Amino acid sequence: MEAADERHFTVSEHYTISLERHPALAELLHYLLLTHNFSADSAEIQTQVWKQSLATQGWQQKIRNTIMRLRDFFPYTIAPIIVHADKVSLFREAIDIVPTRTEGLGTEEEALRLLSHGPMSSIDLAHRLKISAATAKRVLKRLADDKAVCVTKQGRNVFYQVTDGDSGQTSRP
């Protein structure tokens, strides 16, 4: 699945899905495409995507209904979106997702935006930013030298995440 523009999505490089008359559904898909793991909490969708209060009555049901409506727009493929344990996610295990980038942001700013959602490896970041692994490592080294990100090692795996500005402590997503 790939975002063709603000209101159109392409599935399997063949089917075009138009959400021209449903901007809220398109905004939800774009938001999920911009997150580092293609998922968000229901509360995050309510406040960040739709800019509505959590005090609004029935907002959880509204999200469930939205997911059902969104699934109806993708008739030729497996449902691209799932809900599990209060988390809404693109079904990346079943569909190929082409991530989008925020317009106007450079590579370093986009890397910081993605890392602010949670830790990522350099390979994951390279895939999300559509750059080579070597370029991703150079960007991450610059950010680590500037103390914008911290490096953590878990076994043989190295992960990067955003640090709190002056304290040097790891931020919590």
In this predicted structure, the answer to whether residue 7 has a pLDDT above a threshold of 80 is yes
Q: What is the CATH number of domain 107-162?
A: 1.10.10.10
Query: Quick check: 2 pLDDT over 80?
Result: yes
Kindly state the DSSP code that residue 157 receives in the 8-state scheme: E
Kindly indicate the confidence band of residue 167, based on its pLDDT and cuts at 50, 70 and 90: very low
Per DSSP (E only), the strands in 14-80 are 15-18, 39-41
Distance from chain centroid for Cα 172: 17
What is the domain partition of the chain in residue ranges? 2-90, 107-162
Instruction: Examine domains 2-90 and 107-162 and report if their fold is the same.
Output: yes
pLDDT score recorded for residue 140: 92
- Beta strand 149-154 with 157-162: parallel, antiparallel or unpaired? antiparallel
Range 108-117 average pLDDT = 86
* 59/56 Cα distance (integer angstroms): 6
Question: Residue 82 corresponds to which tokens in the numbers above?
Answer: 């799932």
Q: What CATH number labels 2-90?
A: 1.10.10
Q: What is the dihedral of CA 44, 48, 51, 57, to 10 degrees?
A: 0
In tens, the pLDDT along 8-60 reads 988 878 888 899 999 999 999 989 888 878 889 999 999 989 999 999 899 99
Phi then psi dihedrals of residue 138, to 5 deg: -65, -45
Note the pLDDT of residue 101: 66
